[in-house]
Amino acid sequence: MVWIEELFDDELEQATDVACRVIPDVAAALDSLIPALMSGGDQTALRRYVHFVDAAAQTLMALPSREPAQLPPAVVICELLHQDVVELPWVAPTQDGRGIITVVVDRLRGFAAGIPQQCVRAPLDVDEHRFMWFLKSMASVELERRSSEPLRRAMDILDLSSADVAGLMGVRRQAVDKWLLAGPPVDRAKKIGTVAEIADILQYRLRDGMPPVVARRSAEVYGDRSMLDLIEADEEEWLLRSVRASFDYSQVA
């Protein structure tokens, strides 16, 4: 078993060794992306880069801790690391997957354990044009990411897989995976937003763990169908009105 404290107790290089053993697939994926990332012009590589950095942060922060009370909440650390995703390639000690993981570990050590960060200086030979392209493109990727948040939220609350969402939306699972990376197309955004609003109401009004159960339960008021059946049949707008009304206690005499 690997403890998260193993990332704090040794020097940065040894801590990076530990991280690379925990997430070898992420390190390898980043390694294959770096050439396209640094050459500029590949928006898909940027999206995948952000995805894998987030995956690295989440996996490392999910490691068991000997003293969990001494660590900030994992969601805080992961969000702080996400905010640093723009600068990581430009302060990495090497231009490869291990270099990116090194900076991720360096930031994690700083945010979670207060260890002084070492990866802070940009190289002297930075290509300014590629750097500016990277900044502008990352802003676009972040906008796409935010547009995919309603989908992620609905999937989390209702315990939906990509395959589940594909069935509800009438598309292939691969399309849903692309939406999670780059945001859904405009013609799908309204339905996804409505489903997310339904999920939000259920999360707010029901006990923990109940929204997925309720969404899958057939009900007479829905014609012996479930909420998910209604969504698949493109009746989500009617469902939203029904859910709102069922929790509108102001109408109770």
Summarize pLDDT for 3-49 with one digit per residue, the tens. Answer: 999 999 889 999 999 999 999 999 999 999 888 887 776 777 888 89
Mean pLDDT (whole number) for 79-108: 94
pLDDT, tens digit, 9 for 90 and up, residues 184-204: 888 898 999 999 999 999 998
What whole-number distance in Å separates Cα of residue 193 and Cα of residue 127? 40
Lowest mean pLDDT of 13-17, 75-79, 214-218, 226-230, name the range: 75-79
Task: Say if residue 253's pLDDT is above 50.
Answer: no
**What pLDDT score does 251 carry?**
53
Distance, CA of 212 to CA of 133 (rounded, Å): 42
- Residue ranges per domain, the chain? 6-146, 148-251
pLDDT at 138 over 90: no
Q: Are 169 and 191 in contact (CB under 8 A)?
A: yes
Banded model confidence at residue 243, pLDDT cuts 50, 70, 90: very high
pTM of the complete model beyond 0.85:
no
- How much is the pLDDT for 41? 66
Per residue in 72-88, pLDDT tens? Answer: 999 899 999 999 999 99
Max Cα–Cα distance, the chain, nearest Å: 72
154 contacts 160 by C-beta, under 8 angstroms: yes
- The reported pLDDT for the residue numbered 121 is 92
